[in-house]
Amino acid sequence: MGSINIVEERPLPLKLHFLPYPAPGHMIPLCDIATLFASRGQHVTIITTPSNAQILHHHKSNHSHNLHIHTINFPSQEVGLPDGIENLSAVNDLANTYRLHRATMLLQRPVQHFMERDPPDCIIADFFYPWMDDLANKLRVPRFAFNGFSLFAVCAMESFHSHSAIHGLPHSITLNATPPKVLTDLMEPLLEVEVKSHGLIVNNFAELDGEEYIQHYEKTTGHKAWHLGPASLVNRRTEREKAERGQKSSVVSMHECLSCWLDSKEPNSVLYICFGSLCHFSDKQLFEMACGIEASGHGFIWVVPEKKGKEDESDEEKEKWLPKGFEERNKMKGMIIRGWAPQVLILDHPAIGAFLTHCGWNSTVEAVSAGVPMITWPVHDEQFYNEKLITEVRGIGVEVGAEEWTLIGYVERKKLVKRKRIERAVRRLMDGGIEAEQIRKRAQELGKKAREAVQRGGSSNTNFEALIDELKQLRDFKSHD
Ligand code: UDP
C-alpha cells in the first residue's frame, strides 16, 4: 500500500501542541494561529500557566471541542516571584524580568512530562524555549518555531550577527540606532536553534515581507518560512471578542464608549498612540509627547500606563507627565486610555488616520491590516528593523527620529524625542498634502492585500492548507516508518 492511499484513508485530525511564551506580543499571535488550526478541525492543545490561561477564554469559547488549554504550574517560588506574576507585561524591572525568564526555562520538565505521556503529531513552540529542540528530537516529533518577528527582521538580524552591520539584504538599509550587544548576544543562539526546526511560522503575509525577503531567508538559512498571518485576521471574531483580545476581563463598556466617540469624528482625523505591552517612558518623555500631540492640533487616542492619571494621582504627580490643563483643553479632541486598549478595534475604525507606534511587530501588522499609516518610534527588541520595513521599504509611514535602542522597554532612555519632532511627524502624515496622500494610499493598498491573504486562495490561506498537508504527511510517514 502506497503512502498516498494511506493519507486518503486517514483524514484523522492532527494533534498539535502549542507552547507560547508568556508575553502579549508572543502569546496573542501564536494563540490566534492555534485557534485557526482548531477552527479547521485539528486537535489543538495550548500549554500555558494558570494566570496566562485566563487571557485565553475567548479562544476557548468558539472551538471548545477542538481546543484544549493545558495548564502547568508556574514556578514562582523557585525563582522568587510573587504568585500570579507569570507574564512579561506584569514586570517592569530587570531583576524580575530575569526571574520570569528563568521560570519559563523551568517549564521544561513539566512540559516534557506532559508530552511524553501522549506525544503530539507536531509541536509549535516559541523560539524562547530552545530546549524544545531536544525534546522534539527525543519524541521524534516535528517542531515548528515561532518568534513573533517579521521575516524581514529575522533576515536583518541574521545579517547583523554575521557582519555586525546589515549587509546583503535585498534593500540597502541603514538603521537609526545600533542594537545593544546584550540583545544580539541573546538572539544569536536562539536563531541558531530556530533554524534547526522543521520550519518557521511567521505572523505576516507574504506580500508585506515581500518575495525577495522570503527567498533571501530560504537561500541564506536553508530553512522554510510559513507566512500564515496576519494573526489578527485569521479567525472570524465578534466585536466583543476583538475587544477582549489579550485581556483578562471584559472591556465592552469601554469599547462602546470609544466607538461612540470615534463615530463622531471625521474619517482619518484621529491619531492613535500606543507603545505595546512592555514599553514605559519617563515622565519627561510623556510630557514632551503630550506637548507634541497638542501642538499638532489633531485629535488623538493616547494609551498610557494604567498607573498614570488614576484618581488618586496628585496634581503634582500628574503635572510631571501631563501639562497643566491638558485634559480640560483637549476634552473634545482627545481621549486618554489608561491601561489596556482594544487596539485592533480602534485601528479598524475609519476615524483613525495614523498610528504613532513603537513598531512592535504585532502592532505593525495590525496597522497594516487596517490600512493605517504609521509614525514610527522604535524602542526595543527588533523594532528598529521594523521601522525600516515600514518607512523605507514599503513607504507606509514616517519616522519620528528615535535614536536610542534599549534591550527592554522599561529601561530609561537618555535621549528625549523632543516635542517639535513629534509635532512635525504627526503633521507630516495628518495635515494632508501629496506625500501624506501617497503614504496613505500605499497603506490602504497593503491593507487590502492583508485581508485578501487570509481569504480562500490568498497567500496565507494557501500556505496554511499546504502546511496542514505537510504535517499530515509527516505524521503518516512516521506512523509507517
Ligand atoms: N495591545 C492591545 N492593547 C494595548 C496594548 C497592546 O491590544 O493597550 C496588543 C496589540 O494589539 C498587540 C500586542 O498587544 O497585539 C502588542 O504586541 P507588539 O508586538 O505590538 O508589542 P510588544 O507588546 O510585544 O512590545
d(CA 159, CA 318): 44
Ligand 1 pocket test target in 343, 359, 381, 406 with most atoms within 8 Å of CB: 343
Predicted local distance difference test score (pLDDT) of residue 63: 63
Residue closest by Cα to atom 5 of ligand 1: 276
Predicted local distance difference test score (pLDDT) of residue 1: 40
Residue 215 CA, ligand 1 centroid: distance in Å: 29
Q: Is the peptide bond before 230 cis (omega within 30 degrees of 0)?
A: yes
Predicted local distance difference test score (pLDDT) of residue 481: 65
- Ligand 1 atom closest to 339 (CA): 8
- Ligand 1 atom closest to 28 (CA): 15
Residue 362 CA, ligand 1 centroid: distance in Å: 6
Residue 36 CA, ligand 1 centroid: distance in Å: 20
Query: Tens of pLDDT along 400-448?
Result: 999 999 988 777 888 999 999 999 999 999 999 999 999 999 999 999 9
Residue closest by Cα to atom 10 of ligand 1: 363
Residue closest by Cα to atom 24 of ligand 1: 25
d(CA 164, CA 184): 9
Predicted local distance difference test score (pLDDT) of residue 65: 85
Where residue 6 falls among pLDDT bands split at 50, 70, 90?
A: very low
Predicted local distance difference test score (pLDDT) of residue 208: 98
- Ligand 1 atom closest to 246 (CA): 7
Predicted local distance difference test score (pLDDT) of residue 255: 73
User: Which residues are tagged catalytic?
Assistant: 26, 126
Query: Tens of pLDDT along 86-144?
Result: 999 999 888 999 999 999 999 999 999 999 998 999 999 999 999 999 999 999 999 99
d(CA 340, CA 277): 8
CA 191 to chain centre: 18
Of 288 and 409, which is predicted with more confidence? Answer: 288
Query: Tens of pLDDT along 197-215?
Result: 999 999 999 999 999 999 9
Residue closest by Cα to atom 6 of ligand 1: 276
Residue 368 CA, ligand 1 centroid: distance in Å: 14
- Ligand 1 atom closest to 29 (CA): 15
- Ligand 1 atom closest to 409 (CA): 25
pLDDT at 477 over 60: yes
Q: Give the Å distances, CA to CA, from 277 to 216, 292, 357, 393.
A: 31, 22, 12, 26
Residue 133 has phi, psi (to 5 degrees) of -60, -50
Ligand 1 pocket test target in 363, 365, 368, 377 with most atoms within 8 Å of CB: 363
Predicted local distance difference test score (pLDDT) of residue 60: 63
Where residue 351 falls among pLDDT bands split at 50, 70, 90?
A: very high
Residue 162 CA, ligand 1 centroid: distance in Å: 30
3-class SS of residue 268: coil
Predicted local distance difference test score (pLDDT) of residue 301: 96
Mean pLDDT of 233-237: 92
Residue closest by Cα to atom 13 of ligand 1: 25
User: Mean pLDDT, the chain, as a whole number?
Assistant: 92
- Ligand 1 atom closest to 364 (CA): 20
d(CA 198, CA 63): 27
Predicted local distance difference test score (pLDDT) of residue 252: 56
C-alpha cell of 465?
Answer: 492548507
Residue 278 CA, ligand 1 centroid: distance in Å: 8
- Report the percentage of the chain scoring pLDDT > 70: 93
Of 255 and 466, which is predicted with more confidence? Answer: 466
Q: Give me the helices (H) in 50-117, please.
A: 50-53, 57-62, 76-79, 94-105, 108-117
Query: Tens of pLDDT along 138-148?
Result: 999 999 999 99
Residue 430 CA, ligand 1 centroid: distance in Å: 23
Predicted local distance difference test score (pLDDT) of residue 86: 96
Is the CB of residue 125 less than 8 Å from the CB of residue 198? Answer: no
Predicted local distance difference test score (pLDDT) of residue 153: 97
Task: Report the pocket of ligand 1 as residue ranges, CB < 6 Å.
Answer: 24-25, 28, 245-246, 274, 276-279, 303, 340-341, 343-344, 360-363, 366
pLDDT at 9 over 60: no
Closest among 249, 177, 58 to 417, alpha carbons compared: 177
Where residue 49 falls among pLDDT bands split at 50, 70, 90?
A: very high
ipTM value greater than 0.95: yes
Closest among 49, 57, 66, 22 to 110, alpha carbons compared: 49
Helix or strand run (H / E) with residue 338: strand 334-338
d(CA 399, CA 372): 15
Instruction: Return the number of other C-beta atoms located less than 10 Å from residue 374's C-beta.
Output: 28
Direct distance between the N- and C-terminal alpha carbons of the chain, in angstroms, rounded to an integer = 13
CA 202 to chain centre: 11
